Amino acid sequence: MTIQEIHNLFLQCSKVSIDTRKIQANSFFVAIKGERFDANTFAKEALEKGASYVIIDNPDYFIDERTIVVADSLIALQELAKFHRHYLKLPIIALTGSNGKTTTKELINVVLSKKFNTTATTGNLNNHIGVPLTLLSFTTETEIGIVEMGANHQKEIEFLCEIAQPDYGYITNFGKAHLEGFGGVEGVIKGKSEMYAYLKLNNKSVFVNLDDDIQNAKTVNFNRVTFSQKEMNATVFIESVTANPFVKIKVLGVEIHSHLIGLYNANNINAAITIGNHFGVSINDTKQAIESYIPENNRSQLLTKGTNEIILDAYNANPSSMRVALENFIQLDKDNKVVIIGDMYELGEESLSEHKAIVEYLMDNSLFECHFVGKDFFVNAISKDNFHFHSTFDDFTAFLKLNTLENKTLLIKGSRGMALERTLEYL
């Protein structure tokens, strides 16, 4: 069966699914092998639950004419997504970067949805499986597609761009994330810049923060739409930015009061403003969209628990995002501050030194109580009255049971694997 024939069957279905637990009537199920399971074995269950068609790559699990047998289900999913992208011919904005991808994607979506029917990546569907699923969620009613792309090694962004074939791209920043897979910071820059290479080769457009020297230099002679807090000749000049604690931006003569904490979120907002402006969204509609956006999913959330005020930023962490979050918290004009930070993952050989650098930074800059959770922080334990090192989360919760935190302003941040949002149960 050709990919066009498969696509014709897909168009008859309501949605694509790779999880039988989420099968709906008239779904199109693709059986993808995982590390611990073979989804081919669930093909019959998918049909019984209402799927109209299933794609499998093991003919032993053929059921009937509703079964499509291919050489590799994952490749078939990716090729189907690429075909669907050509079929729809809609403009697609892709974004990647070390920090802030998801927040920026959400902001772009709320701004553009003021004028267009937009569809954006949901959750963390930003890899070699997630990007195809995102593309296949676009319909003939979608006017602009927004695709988040994540990567932890070279050539991954290049591959995702070949599937999504974006018309516009934005890189939030280059930071110390996934150093193990990329091979250091230079590897991160090279890997993320694969998006620039694709857009340049195909004469597409980029959105660029001119205040980022690396990105500015890398996009000279590109088709670019720019923003800046310094360069008045940028496409969009940001007149002022403040954060206490929420980010407030003045642009095009209008003040925008966000619900995002910390100056590190300013460029995420600036990008959404610039992209909205490029697509003709009025500044007043942009203001309304950004001011209505409330962060969730453990990303820069401001919460109250008992007598404590909490900045919950526990979705993920790397040395770059950890540093700016701490800088912002140190500058925050609050009494009785407490930092709770967890190990940063995927740093490879640089892990211990990067954790040590964070400890030393707080040693030089904090007078408040600091809790370090995880084995890599624990290895770097030092003796200081306001510093507490806990080798595991269980050790930390044992401490909290004996030492109640009340009337505090807390920052909670760590890698996803640390799941530090669990701390809320003990506050």
- Domain shared by 58 and 131, yes or no: no
Q: Is the pLDDT of residue 164 over 90?
A: yes
Q: Is the pLDDT of residue 212 over 90?
A: yes
First-to-last C-alpha distance (Å) of the chain: 57
Residue 207 lies in a domain: yes
- Domain shared by 278 and 326, yes or no: no
- Domain shared by 59 and 137, yes or no: no
Give the pLDDT confidence score for residue 345 in this predicted structure: 94
Distance, C-alpha 416 to centroid of its chain: 12
Q: Is the pLDDT of residue 289 over 90?
A: yes
Residue 152 lies in a domain: yes
Q: 34: buried, middle or exposed (CB in 10 Å: 19+, 13-18, 0-12)?
A: exposed
| Confidence class for position 187, pLDDT limits 50, 70, 90 | confident
- Tell me the C-alpha to C-alpha distance, in Å, between residue 268 and each of 96, 272, 305: 12, 7, 27
- DSSP label of 116: S
Residue 81 lies in a domain: no
Strand partners, 412: 312, 340
- Domain shared by 204 and 126, yes or no: yes
- Domain shared by 381 and 273, yes or no: no
Distance CA 177, CA 189 (A): 10
Residue 85 lies in a domain: no
Count of structural domains within the chain? 3
Q: 301: buried, middle or exposed (CB in 10 Å: 19+, 13-18, 0-12)?
A: buried
- Domain shared by 33 and 11, yes or no: yes
Residue 70 lies in a domain: yes
- Tell me the C-alpha to C-alpha distance, in Å, between residue 215 and each of 72, 226, 348: 38, 11, 26
Q: Give the residue numbers spanning the domain of 319.
A: 301-426
- Domain shared by 308 and 351, yes or no: yes
Tokens 């496409």 found at:
235
- Domain shared by 100 and 63, yes or no: no
Mean of pLDDT values over 301-316? 91
Residue 365 lies in a domain: yes
Residue 84 lies in a domain: no
Residue 169 lies in a domain: yes
Encoding tokens for residue 103? Answer: 């927040």
CB atoms inside a 10 Å sphere around CB 327: 15
Over residues 358-403, the pLDDT tens digits come to 999 999 998 899 999 999 999 999 999 899 999 999 999 999 999 9
Amino acid at 363: M
Q: What is the pTM of this model?
A: 0.88
CATH code of 359's domain: 3.90.190.20
Within 253-392, residue ranges assigned H as helices are 266-278, 283-292, 319-331, 351-365, 375-379
- Domain shared by 278 and 348, yes or no: no
- Domain shared by 131 and 111, yes or no: yes
Q: Is the pLDDT of residue 177 over 80?
A: no
Over residues 236-268, the pLDDT tens digits come to 999 999 988 899 999 999 999 999 988 889 999
